[in-house]
Structure 1
Amino acid sequence: MTKLRRASIETELGTELQCTQCKEFWPADGDFFFLSRGIPHSWCKACYQNHPKVAERKRRWVEKQRANRAAAKTDDHPNQRDGA
């Protein structure tokens, strides 16, 4: 089985890879693509972060972090009204 190669071009900025989602060419580095073991993800960061599943996962994570911070705050000061 042969692997399909992604479209790439050489510019004055260096090698640019084509995002398989938006079809735009971006520099092949960590600023534009998430890297896994040094290999760029097939989607650019903008497409990946705007995908509905990823956006929903981030929203749930933010809600969980807020709840954890609120719970930690109330645990730190259980008798805030009584003795202070």
Structure 2
Amino acid sequence: MNGYGLHGSKLRLSIDGWEKLCARCRDWWPADLEFFYADPKGAGGLYLYCKACYLEHIRPGASRRAQPVLPPRFTTALLSAALAEAWSTA
């Protein structure tokens, strides 16, 4: 089996287990949910792009939106100062 397995060249069996080819970066990654999102229509039930390529190319703002951003009035320094003042007056 010349490095290619099921579904043409999208899945292959290696020494470490099943691997899937990312259609974007063209690298082989373990065929699991750590590296690919689930997709019932995809090869092996996984999306055709790895998670890194998906976040970088398909949803470029997704990684930035995933982390909550405090409004400027609630920055860590201001919040710490407000808490220190509240505790000192109590």
TM bucket normalised to smaller: 0.5 to 0.7
Count matched residues: 73
**Which structure shows the bigger proportion of residues in helix conformation?**
1
1:43 maps to: 49
SS at structure 1 position matched to 2:24 = coil
1:18 maps to: 21
Give me the CA root mean square deviation.
Answer: 3.5
1:77 maps to: none
In the alignment, structure 2 segments of 5+ residues that lack a partner are 1-6, 75-85
2:66, 2:14 → 1: CA distance? 38
TM-score by length of 1: 0.56
1:57, 1:39 → 2: CA distance? 22
Query: How far apart are 1:36 and its partner, in Å?
Result: 3.4
1:61, 1:25 → 2: CA distance? 26
2:62, 2:26 → 1: CA distance? 24
2:33, 2:56 → 1: CA distance? 17
SS at structure 2 position matched to 1:47 = helix
TM-score by length of 2: 0.53
| Cα pair 2:55 2:62 within 8 Å, conserved | no
Query: How far apart are 1:13 and its partner, in Å?
Result: 1.3
SS at structure 2 position matched to 1:17 = strand
2:27, 2:49 → 1: CA distance? 10
